[in-house]
Structure 1
């Protein structure tokens, strides 16, 4: 990997914090200007997701099956144990439907992007995590509707407007993923595609910073206006940061995973996919979309802080 690119990726977390800080400052001192930023959120997320999908080795998905114990633990942890944990957490407080749905939306979706960097910083197996990402992405997109039905039953149909949800899913997830996959397929035969694929490696970090800045600059006033509701989700997200690695520890012992693989599993279970589910949140009915986006941004901020603690604790917990 190009040294400059590797340096950019290794320092991306600090760039994200700078972006969040600048977004917060802008929301206060440039409030009239930042309200105009909201129009670029959806296009920026679409480009960001395309650049992220382009880095996912879809054509090498079968390699994930070579480490069968890890793969089984990964699926059981992310798609059985974590949903049970999330459902349990939602019973702690009597949340309204908007907030409960938003919490479930973000916590049920395993991360496929910066979790790779955190895994590397936390002495996990980043190559194994990278190979796992296509499977995690496909399964979470398939299973999210099922989880939402199981969690909210008939209430879901009265709250959701499926047309905008489908539109958001199509334009910001399916189409970017299709373009990324096509680029990977044609890269073997066409020099232009190969060159473009290599250049996309530079884009996820700056576009993630742009998205984080824009979201916080436009949504922080909303978080402030709805803080009496949003503050209730903070303990839930903090509890999840504690519970998820413990699930990873249990499964690591159960499947007798080596230490680096155990750390990889722990990071996958603990890191959520906020930027992929954000387009879904923004496509919800008006007031719901505002609150859902605020909940997801809150989770992102808490998670980024938690990850910096993880990179110190998880290597000691998973020896």
Structure 2
């Protein structure tokens, strides 16, 4: 087993360790928050670049060939899940920053560790890989509309262009560079190996991002601990509901077991660190949104441990082999 595979299998504990170390560092050295908050942006950009390089944009046309799986994934992620998120957010306290954090993180399907968990959970990694670029483009286009419908806030004051443009650059520049890297590496084995090595970066880089965020916002974490049961409850309800939705869509679409598993992981995982830059760019008083995103991502990671057992063994089991006499009939 390679070091990358070891990290991916144990990433939950890597991230939890990063949170603990960040909280301890922020408590012992309160002034470190100014430095770590500045460091979050370049590390986050590097994380997104490494992640996007593993998302072959050339597979976008292939994603449209399997219409049943694509339809189930898109309807689930962009029609049914938004309704579920709106319902769940109604159970949250009437706190704009809290609700915005929940909306930001729960409305966008994952485009990074979703592939890893699909593979570990005996899903169809090829279809997972082909789906990710489509899901990324759609979520970036649709998220403003979802927020406009569901968030009862003054967007002009919260998402001021002067504050948001760094977050846009942190997402868009790595995406463009990753696309250029894909072109650069095409049909050159040495360059393809360079890109393959970049696949080992996301887990450690994500751990560094979590550590930096925890260090920079340890004060807000302490002040918002009372929100933890709320965020955990909504995140767990989301994970459980996603399993039901995946099963229903899998049955309606008559998806084979491997594709059903991929669908379950797609609906259950969210794109925490695509939306984190936007949460970090919010004005003073909205820090809770970023804390909520980090909290949700940790709950999700523990949820994925359960998914890895439940999805292939219970939700989408392989069909039982026919008895020997039936095989020859």
TM superposition score normalised by structure 2? 0.89
Structure 1 residues 299 and 5, CA gap change in structure 2 (3 angstroms): closer
Aligned to 2:307: 310
1:179 to 177, 180, 186: 177
> Which stretch of structure 1 is more off in the superposition, 4-13 or 290-299?
4-13
Alignment of 1:293 with 2:279, yes or no, is no
Asked if the contact 1:105–1:277 (Cα under 8 Å) also holds between the matched residues in 2, the reply is yes
Structure 1 residues 98 and 130, CA gap change in structure 2 (3 angstroms): same
CA displacement at 1:39 relative to structure 2: 1.6
- 1:141-160 alignment to 2 at 5 Å? 141-152=140-151, 155-160=154-159
> Which stretch of structure 1 is more off in the superposition, 307-316 or 229-238?
229-238
Aligned to 1:276: 274
Aligned mates of 1:195, 1:254 — CA distance in 2: 40
Asked if the contact 1:230–1:294 (Cα under 8 Å) also holds between the matched residues in 2, the reply is no
CA displacement at 1:167 relative to structure 2: 2.9
Asked if the contact 2:49–2:178 (Cα under 8 Å) also holds between the matched residues in 1, the reply is yes
Aligned mates of 2:93, 2:14 — CA distance in 1: 36
- 1:181-260 alignment to 2 at 5 Å? 181-188=179-186, 194=192, 196-229=194-227, 231-260=229-258
Alignment of 1:117 with 2:116, yes or no, is yes
Give the number of the structure whose residues are more often helix, by fraction.
1
> Which stretch of structure 1 is more off in the superposition, 248-257 or 12-21?
12-21
Write out per-residue CA displacement over residues 52-75 of structure 1, whole angstroms, 9 at most, x where no aligned residue.
011101012111122211100000
Asked if the contact 2:99–2:151 (Cα under 8 Å) also holds between the matched residues in 1, the reply is no
- 1:58-77 alignment to 2 at 5 Å? 58-77=57-76
> Which of structures 1 and 2 has the bigger CA Rg?
2
Aligned mates of 2:155, 2:233 — CA distance in 1: 24
Query: C-alpha root-mean-square deviation of aligned residues, in Å?
Result: 2.2
Matched residue SS, 1:124: coil
Aligned to 2:323: none
CA displacement at 1:224 relative to structure 2: 1.3
> Which stretch of structure 1 is more off in the superposition, 231-240 or 262-271?
231-240
CA displacement at 1:102 relative to structure 2: 1.2
CA displacement at 1:199 relative to structure 2: 3.4
Asked if the contact 2:96–2:152 (Cα under 8 Å) also holds between the matched residues in 1, the reply is no
Write out per-residue CA displacement over residues 8-41 of structure 1, whole angstroms, 9 at most, x where no aligned residue.
4344343333323333333344444455322211
Asked if the contact 1:183–1:193 (Cα under 8 Å) also holds between the matched residues in 2, the reply is no
Aligned mates of 2:53, 2:265 — CA distance in 1: 22
CA displacement at 1:229 relative to structure 2: 4.3
Write out per-residue CA displacement over residues 210-245 of structure 1, whole angstroms, 9 at most, x where no aligned residue.
112222233333121123345433321121111111
Matched residue SS, 1:66: coil
Structure 1 residues 298 and 6, CA gap change in structure 2 (3 angstroms): closer
Write out per-residue CA displacement over residues 69-104 of structure 1, whole angstroms, 9 at most, x where no aligned residue.
110000000000000000111222342222111110
